[in-house]
Amino acid sequence: MSAAGSAAQADGAARDDAMALYLYCFAPADAAGLPPEAPAVDGGGLSVHRHAGLTALVSPVRRADYEGEQGVANLADIGWVGPRALRHQTVLDAALAATTVFPLPFATLFSSVAVLEAEMASRRTDILAALDRLAGCAEWAVQGQLDRARALDARVAEAIAAGRFVPPAAAGRRHLEEQRLRRALTPDLEAWAARRAAALADALRPQCRGLVERRIPSGQALAFNWALLVPDAARAAVEEVLTAAAPELAECGLTLEFKGPWPGYSFTGGTP
């Protein structure tokens, strides 16, 4: 479908007060390969709308599904959100394979094409700057999974080597004193492990266009959670840095995980 035809379809849908435009991402005005061959969040078709030097990837949705009393209930229901969130991510992944994208969070809605165009015009400079930075890149996660027992072993060994802890000669006394030391070292274990990985961050930064520390999700045994903006041509170099650092970090109880690629959520203000 042509860009003009896609925009007309989107405009027709959005003129109906019962409908809204669901926005997946922005892309450059000359972006090729959009819309991708992927189902929209609600199973319909995707379309593009070009304005102010930008391309918006959109699909029509029922406003009541996302707004008001029914919308609140839907968005609180993982059985409803889950499949749509997966389709949202599938659309973004397909778009990223075709062009540079500025991703938007799940359930970003606009009441009409006119409102969308106003947003595109007002944010044009910032979005174009972000697209320029994101060009030829993808977001990757580097996480340090923490084995707390092994990390505590490493901290005790470190204290002994530095002379801060002298193990008693008697086995029973030694066990009690070591357990006391381990309890004292536990509260800041994640911070200690993250400091051990500081050299890794320094080695990764020259390979990337950005490295940011992300919040560690509740309940996850992570010492650090980084987002990297990696040029496609630098992916192998990043993997080499991680491979070289892995054995030493393993001695500190840290196992590295390298995940991706994703659109650059962490570098545009979005949320994956």
Residues 125 and 201 in one domain: no
Residues 122 and 143 in one domain: no
3-state secondary structure of 135: coil
Residues 85 and 143 in one domain: no
Residues 127 and 198 in one domain: no
Residues 143 and 228 in one domain: yes
Residues 251 and 221 in one domain: yes
Residue 121: which domain range?
3-135
Distances (CA, A) of 206 to 210, 212, 237: 9, 13, 10
The 10s digit of each residue's pLDDT in 78-114 is 999 999 999 999 999 999 999 999 999 999 999 999 9
Taking alpha carbons only, the member of 68, 62, 32 closest to residue 44 is 62
Q: Has residue 29 been placed in a domain?
A: yes
**pTM over the 0.75 mark:** yes
Regions of the chain where pLDDT drops below 70 = 1-16, 168, 269-272
Compute the distance between CA of residue 200 and CA of residue 198 in angstroms, rounded to an integer. Answer: 5
